[in-house]
Amino acid sequence: MKIGIEAQRIFRPKKHGMDIVALELIRHLQQIDTYNQYYIFVKPDVDDACIPQADNFEIVTVSGQTYLDWEQIYLPQAIKRTGVELVHFTSNTAPMRCAVPKIITLHDVIFMEKMPLKGTNYQKLGWAYRRWVVPKVINHCEQIITVSHYEKAQILNKFPQLKTKLSVVHNGVAASFEEFKLADYQPLHKKIKPKQFLFFLGNEAPKKNMQNVLLGYAQYVENHHTPLPLVIAETVPKQLRDWLTKLHLNWLAEYIVLPCYIPNQQIAQWYNQAAAFLYPSLRESFGLPILEAMACGTPVITSNTSAMPEVARGAALLVDPTQSNEIAQAIYKITNDQALAADLREKGLVNSQQFTWTHHAQKVQETYKALVRSEHSNI
């Protein structure tokens, strides 16, 4: 069987959630499937060694100026040239014209909700593109995969006609996320010490809830004699200054550390050395960092909404992400109750072991096989 996998952005050095999911799927399919022939469609970029070599996996580089022309013009041409029997599109969207059977991983349908006023122009453009193309392609897909039961319900609320072809395959956590020994700790930043800082993956996406994290952290600082510093990744100084000015919290800057972007291969060090990981997003279709932090033995604070309770499974402190006082209280509890922190650590380690990329790849491979059997039976 000749299988195509669209993974447009996995060669870019700064990978995000959907890129990581696609990359881990490919790596683990290589481990479990040496029989079928795979064609991986990617856009050229600098991290072109991230996929291990395998005899039955071929990298097909496809160039394009924009996301739209890459996906709608050049990708279908490449698919036709390879003669694949099915194509798996891994990041929500797909070409509107593609003659072979299609599977889409629809990570979320946030883009079908009201467009946020905040966010970069690039984020808004991506939002508009998904809102335009997804309703046009999903009815012509043979199968759709999503990443949580919560998101399945959201998808069916928007597109009830997909009920018979929508399945859930949970994401996994990579083996590189594990609890390190103290001797394996690496120096991270001159302003922080191991187990004496809070860690937050913040960025400009509105759903990441920067405002309430800063408000909650400020309340924690005001009510604590020796507050732990807050490390905010993926945020540059100007962005932080703008937030603090807007919230009248300029005094808080001295308690915050900004390493900016942390390479994927280093992030496990930050999880391991943090006293707690903050992930109180407003909405997530899954929440992979929850599991990554848990696998590193770090207590987690996350939201009681969307898919986050489904992923946390009782192994994290849950808060209402719209209530900054709840975030503050959760930080105080974790940093002042050693028994609670130890309990969350143990529960988190156990929970993270239930989500593996091998299982994810096996479930996706089953979807490929079922689709090909179905197509052949209809000939």
Average pLDDT over residues 90-97: 95
Higher pLDDT, 225 or 355: 355
How many other C-beta atoms are found inside a 10 Å radius of the C-beta of residue 91?
Answer: 22
Per-residue pLDDT of 158-186, as tens digits, reads 999 999 999 999 999 999 999 999 999 99
Q: Can you give the pLDDT at residue 202?
A: 82
Q: Tell me the sheet residues that pair with 301.
A: 278, 317
Average pLDDT over residues 221-241: 95
Average pLDDT over residues 65-74: 92
Mean pLDDT estimate for the chain = 94
Q: Can you give the pLDDT at residue 115?
A: 63
SS3 letters across 30-56: HHHCCCCEEEEEECCCCCCCCCCCCCC
* CATH number attached to the domain at 182-352: 3.40.50.2000
Domain boundaries, the chain: 2-172+356-373, 182-352
pLDDT higher than threshold 50 for residue 209: yes
Q: State how far the Cα of 258 lies from the Cα of 253, in Å rounded to an integer.
A: 10
Q: Can you give the pLDDT at residue 125?
A: 81
pLDDT tier at 338 (50, 70, 90 boundaries)?
Answer: very high
Q: Can you give the pLDDT at residue 376?
A: 60
pLDDT higher than threshold 90 for residue 215: yes
Going by C-beta distance under 8 Å and a sequence separation of 6 or more, which residues neighbour residue 122?
A: none
Q: State how far the Cα of 104 lies from the Cα of 77, in Å rounded to an integer.
A: 18
Give the predicted TM-score (pTM) of the model.
0.92
- Percent above pLDDT 90 for the chain: 84
Q: In what order do the strands lie in the sheet with 230-233?
A: 256-260, 230-233, 198-201, 276-279, 300-303, 317-319
Q: Can you give the pLDDT at residue 196?
A: 96
Q: Can you give the pLDDT at residue 204?
A: 77
Of the spans 120-134, 153-167, 251-265, which averages the highest pLDDT?
Answer: 153-167
- Percent above pLDDT 70 for the chain: 97
Average pLDDT over residues 238-243: 95
User: Are 32 and 362 contacting, i.e. CB atoms less than 8 angstroms apart?
Assistant: yes
Per-residue pLDDT of 182-202, as tens digits, reads 999 999 998 999 999 999 998
Q: Can you give the pLDDT at residue 379?
A: 38
Is CATH 3.40.50.2000 correct for 2-172+356-373?
yes
Q: In what order do the strands lie in the sheet with 37-42?
A: 57-61, 37-42, 2-6, 86-89, 102-105, 143-146, 166-168
Q: Tell me the sheet residues that pair with 166.
A: 144
Least confident of 114-128, 138-152, 193-207, 238-252: 114-128
| In 183-311, beta strands by DSSP E | 198-201, 230-233, 256-260, 276-279, 300-303
Q: Can you give the pLDDT at residue 118?
A: 64
Q: CA geometry: angle at 196 spanning 274 and 199, to 5°?
A: 35
pLDDT tier at 117 (50, 70, 90 boundaries)?
Answer: low
What proportions of the chain, in percent to the nearest 5, are helix, strand and coil? 45, 15, 40
